[in-house]
Amino acid sequence: MTETGQALLSNDSIGAIADIARSTRDAERAFAAAGIQLEKQPVTQYDGTVIVASTRSHVSRTLRGLDLGEPKVVRAVLRATVALAEIYESLPAADRSRLVRLRHCLAADGFPLDPTGDPMAAIRTLGTIATDVLPDASAIRVELARLERSLDDDPSLAIGKAKNLIEATAKAVLAQKGQPVGANLNVPTLVKGAMEALGVHPDQVDVAKSPLIRDILVDLRDLALKIGTLRNKVGDGHGSSAAVTGIEARDSRLAVRASIAWCAYMLDSLGEPAGRPSSAQAGVSG
């Protein structure tokens, strides 16, 4: 529970989530994927009539039985809600007003359905970008799935997966550009090689034309390098005689956002149409 013991999701949000759940089977799958078991209303009888509860009742019962004052539980509910919203939106008879109400209710509770800067949303968006620009995005999708599973539960593991994502992206870029990808290349070598292959390394930018873009690329490169250093100090993958301390969930989310920023820029640059210079190469227009 939170310090005040107050639920983080209101009754309005609970009702709005329940309203978009149309199939019990879909609801079971969505909640199970988020680590929540759907609690079904029991079948009852009244005057000889068998009454079977609706999917909405099952979802409402489930949500009201959870500790919604616990942020980790609420994050799991939100993951299930995103899945339910996607399923509902795909239905031919979907009522858009239900989705609008859902977004408004969640936003009023401080949980926009697709919040800007939300690591989960950014992770999924990066997967879409990778699929669009790479003939084989499987390695990146694997790292994104691992990253999503670890984000809320294990900060050290999430930092390790953020570093793995940078490596996977750099290797994908190098492979796409027809350059050799050694099995034992470290993060600095991969980051430098991938940025050079795309012509977006800070040293390749004309300082006279693009001083601010060059500065940003320096910072972006350094972020990727520091994720590798952070992983070596506190991330998973290295045995330690003592448990890692001083790393909180917000720290791992920061590392994840930083890694996604570098990876997204690299994939965007890779997807630039042939003959069209990237913003880093073209300079900043007035």
In this structure, the answer to whether residues 187 and 126 fall within a common structural domain is yes
In this structure, the answer to whether residues 140 and 241 fall within a common structural domain is yes
pLDDT of 232 above 50: yes
In this structure, the answer to whether residues 85 and 60 fall within a common structural domain is yes
Residue 184 covered by a domain: yes
Residue where one domain finishes, among candidates 56, 85, 108 = 108
Residue 32 covered by a domain: yes
Give the Å distances, CA to CA, from 163 to 76, 187, 189. 24, 8, 13
Per residue, what are the HEC states of 215-233?
Answer: HHHHHHHHHHHHHHHHHHH
User: Reduced to 3 states, what is the DSSP secondary structure of residue 136?
Assistant: coil
In this structure, the answer to whether residues 223 and 182 fall within a common structural domain is yes
Per-residue pLDDT band at 171 (split at 50, 70, 90):
very high
DSSP of 68-121: TTSHHHHHHHHHHHHHHHHHHHTSTT--HHHHHHHHHHHHHTT--SS-TT-HHH
**pLDDT tens-digit readout, 208-222:** 878 899 999 999 999
Question: What range defines the domain where residue 235 resides?
Answer: 119-282
Residue where one domain finishes, among candidates 45, 78, 108 = 108
In this structure, the answer to whether residues 101 and 125 fall within a common structural domain is no
In this structure, the answer to whether residues 144 and 269 fall within a common structural domain is yes
In this structure, the answer to whether residues 129 and 255 fall within a common structural domain is yes
Residue 235 — φ and ψ, nearest 5°? Answer: -85, 175
Predicted pLDDT of residue 113 = 65
In this structure, the answer to whether residues 215 and 124 fall within a common structural domain is yes
| Structural domains of the chain, count | 2
Residue 6 covered by a domain: no
In this structure, the answer to whether residues 27 and 61 fall within a common structural domain is yes
As a residue count, the chain comes to: 286
**pLDDT tens-digit readout, 1-21:** 334 458 889 999 999 999 999
Residue 2 covered by a domain: no
CB atoms within 10 A of CB 260: 22
Residue 45 — φ and ψ, nearest 5°? Answer: -130, 140
Among residues 162, 197, 195, the alpha carbon closest in space to that of 176 is found at 197
In this structure, the answer to whether residues 135 and 276 fall within a common structural domain is yes
Residue 37 covered by a domain: yes
Q: Give the separation between CA 42 and CA 196, rounded to whole angstroms.
A: 62
Residue where one domain finishes, among candidates 73, 108, 143 = 108
pLDDT of 239 above 60: no
Structure-model confidence comparison of residues 280 and 47, the more confident one: 47
Percent of the chain scoring above 70 in pLDDT: 84
